[in-house]
Amino acid sequence: MTARGALARSLVLWGWGQLAAGDRRGWLLIAAQPAAIAAFVLVGPPLSNGAGAALVFVAGSAVLFAWAAVGVHAYRRAARRRVLVELPGPDGGSLVLLVFLPIAIVASSLFWGLGARESDPGTVLDRYVADWRAGRVAEAISRFRESPGTTAIVREIWDAQLAALHNELLRLVPRAGPAGGIDPDAPLDTVRWVDAGPSPGGGRLVALEVSRREDVRGLVLGLLPVSSQRLVPLARLGTAELAPVRIGAPVAPAGPLPDGPWGVAWRLVEVEIVGVRLGG
């Protein structure tokens, strides 16, 4: 058995390469692989969409690392055994492990892009605004802790909020000036959402602000003149309140998991814009 062959076998089935290299402890690894995969598959999906996403990411990284470590151990075991019988030992097969790099990059990108969608209040609010822009009412309603109303009611309130926001931005244009960057015809592009600290109910508040652009001039190293722009807040036009809620957690043989970050996701409670409220 070559070192490369032992590595390849253990990448397919934990412990297979060890057994081929004469290490009977490989049987333990063969039993551990399905247990590790089953535990990750059982626990991972329910937790990945909530505040336990970081825990799932760490667990997935640990499984991937263990997979590579088992292969490395089989490679080194086979190489040492070949050296003992005066055969070529290491054969460069460890380069096969480079296959884990693109797998890890793709898996990480997919996890944080498609999973973990409700693990952070800012992410939930961003997705709600994206649903609003695209007219996805059903998806927007699902981001609330309690349904804010029917599809028709939500559309009506959205229209009222946009109209109120448009009128308020018109009022602020003179204060911002022609170069202030306020466009009443694109209200959702003009405003920005800013963290406003905890809410009285233990959730999170996010403020809706409008700012104007202001030119700032200075010197680099005291010699070269440079200019840049900064945002100067003009007014707060609304708030969004989000709250943590329990989500479906995996069920263990002894019963449901206890309360903790793994069973928590963020939902909107209320979105208020210029006095027009949705939810609450």
> What tens digit of pLDDT does each residue of 65-92 get?
888 888 888 888 888 887 776 666 566 6
Per DSSP, helices labelled H in 90-245 are 100-114, 121-134, 137-142, 151-176, 187-190
Token pair in block for residue 72: 């490395």
Are residues 134 and 265 part of one domain?
yes
The gap between the terminal CA atoms of the chain, to the nearest Å, is 68
For position 253, what pLDDT does the model report?
Answer: 41
CA distance 230 to 98: 44
8 A C-beta contact, residue 203 and residue 177:
no
For position 79, what pLDDT does the model report?
Answer: 81
Spans of the chain, pLDDT less than 50: 250-258
* Domain closes at, from 114, 149, 170: 114
CA distance 65 to 98: 12
Are residues 201 and 86 part of one domain?
no
Token pair in block for residue 6: 């032992």
* Domain closes at, from 69, 85, 114: 114
Are residues 149 and 66 part of one domain?
no
Are residues 168 and 214 part of one domain?
yes
Rg of the chain in Å (alpha carbons): 28
pLDDT per residue over 142-169, tens digit each? 999 999 999 999 999 999 999 999 999 9
Total domains present in the chain: 2
Token pair in block for residue 85: 């019988």
Are residues 275 and 170 part of one domain?
yes
| Order of all β-strands in the sheet with 264-273 | 192-198, 204-220, 224-246, 264-273, 276-279
Range of the domain at 187: 121-279
C-alpha pair distances (Å), 247 with each of 82, 244, 257: 54, 9, 11
CA distance 79 to 91: 8
Are residues 256 and 134 part of one domain?
yes
Strands (E) located in the chain: 192-198, 204-220, 224-246, 251-252, 255-256, 264-273, 276-279
Are residues 266 and 137 part of one domain?
yes
Are residues 127 and 108 part of one domain?
no
User: What is the value of pTM for the model shown?
Assistant: 0.61
